[in-house]
């Protein structure tokens, strides 16, 4: 459970040692009262757009844990459409706005023909709205032709745009807070290159989101060092907790730091933030 990296070094816990400690001696408890109040106040006073909320939540978790923090946005599959709006921007463009139950707002600018006036735009909105409201995001309806070629063209373009927005590459943005803390913890890594590779990994959202999503259904989870499949994470610990929106697992919050982190405090922080975030979005 302990190792000596080289003859002049002291002994340090191995990954197995940290795992034994987490499994047998780390009792999950609450955050200190002052930090717990700070988390509650943050969400009670938050009236931000979803993207801003998730970004600032990652910053909050980084401050609480004193490590880097990750937040994966709600899975759109878990949301239903609450509202659809079509607004003219300019003579030849309009904005399609879709409001989702998880707080997300999807937007797309549509080019339109000069012949499409405000009355026709209202007709387009009425045509696409019934097939979207109350349905899972990503379900794109079929709309019967109206007999007006200008309207039908905008309907077709709007539905194609919504289908594109619902594809995986447009989903589940990753928000990372406290990256500078990882840079400041370089002495916790075996080499400067190890820290640099980790920082580079965090720039690849798809990779990190896929790693986190593998653990989404596992509940509160701790992965330590060699338990990670990705080489870049082999000197790190990852503490994750899913958050629920309307009773369904929607996304994940987590703390990322060296294996020597304070696991008890990290577990308390991700638990408090995940619970408050889910409550706020429900």
pLDDT at residue 131 above 80?
yes
Note the pLDDT tens digit of each residue in 204-229: 766 777 777 777 677 888 999 888 88
The model's pTM: 0.73
d(CA 46, CA 34): 18
3-state DSSP call for residue 126? helix
Note the pLDDT tens digit of each residue in 55-100: 999 999 999 999 999 998 877 666 788 888 888 888 889 898 888 8
* pLDDT of the residue at 263: 92
Q: Which residue has the higher pLDDT, 151 or 136?
A: 151
CATH number for the domain whose boundaries are 79-170: 3.30.390
pLDDT at residue 118 above 60?
yes
CATH class of 2-75+172-281: alpha beta
Helix (H) or strand (E) holding 227: none
Q: Which residue has the higher pLDDT, 143 or 10?
A: 143
Concatenating the DSSP letter of every residue in 28-46 gives: --PPPHHHHHHHHHHHHT-
Cross-strand bridge partners of residue 252: 72, 242
Q: Is 278 left (phi over 0), alpha (psi -120 to 50) or beta?
A: alpha
* pLDDT of the residue at 174: 83
Ranges for all domains in the chain classified under CATH 3.30.450.40: 2-75+172-281
Ranges for all domains in the chain classified under CATH 3.30.390: 79-170
* pLDDT of the residue at 163: 84
Nearest CA-CA partner of 30 in 267, 275, 279 = 267
Q: Is 103 left (phi over 0), alpha (psi -120 to 50) or beta?
A: left
Tokens of 275: 């619970």
* pLDDT of the residue at 69: 93
3-state DSSP call for residue 114? coil
């Amino acid at each position: 459970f302990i190792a000596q990296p080289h003859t002049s070094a002291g002994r340090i816990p191995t990954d197995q040692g940290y795992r034994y400690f987490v499994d047998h001696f780390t009792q999950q408890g609450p955050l200190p009262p002052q930090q717990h109040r700070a988390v509650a106040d943050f969400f009670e006073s938050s009236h931000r757009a979803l993207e801003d909320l998730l970004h600032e939540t990652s910053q909050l978790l980084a401050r609480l844990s004193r490590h880097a923090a990750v937040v994966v946005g709600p899975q759109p599959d878990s949301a239903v459409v609450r509202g659809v709006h079509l607004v003219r921007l300019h003579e030849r463009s309009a904005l399609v706005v879709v409001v989702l139950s998880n707080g997300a707002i999807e937007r797309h600018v549509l080019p339109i023909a000069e012949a499409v006036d405000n009355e026709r735009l209202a007709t387009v909105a009425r045509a696409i709205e019934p097939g979207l409201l109350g349905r899972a995001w990503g379900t794109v309806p079929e709309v019967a032709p109206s007999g007006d070629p200008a309207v039908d063209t905008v309907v077709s373009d709007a539905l194609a745009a919504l289908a594109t927005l619902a594809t995986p590459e447009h989903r589940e943005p990753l928000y990372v807070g406290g990256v500078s803390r990882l840079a400041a913890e370089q002495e916790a890594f075996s080499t400067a290159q190890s820290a640099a590779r980790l920082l580079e990994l965090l720039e690849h959202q798809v990779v990190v989101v896929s790693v986190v999503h593998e653990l989404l259904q596992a509940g509160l989870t701790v992965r330590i060092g060699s338990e990670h499949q990705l080489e870049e994470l082999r000197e790190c610990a990852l503490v994750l907790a899913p958050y629920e929106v309307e009773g369904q697992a929607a996304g994940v919050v987590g703390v990322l730091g060296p294996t020597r982190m304070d696991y008890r405090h990290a577990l308390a922080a991700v638990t408090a933030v995940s619970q408050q975030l889910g409550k706020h979005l429900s």
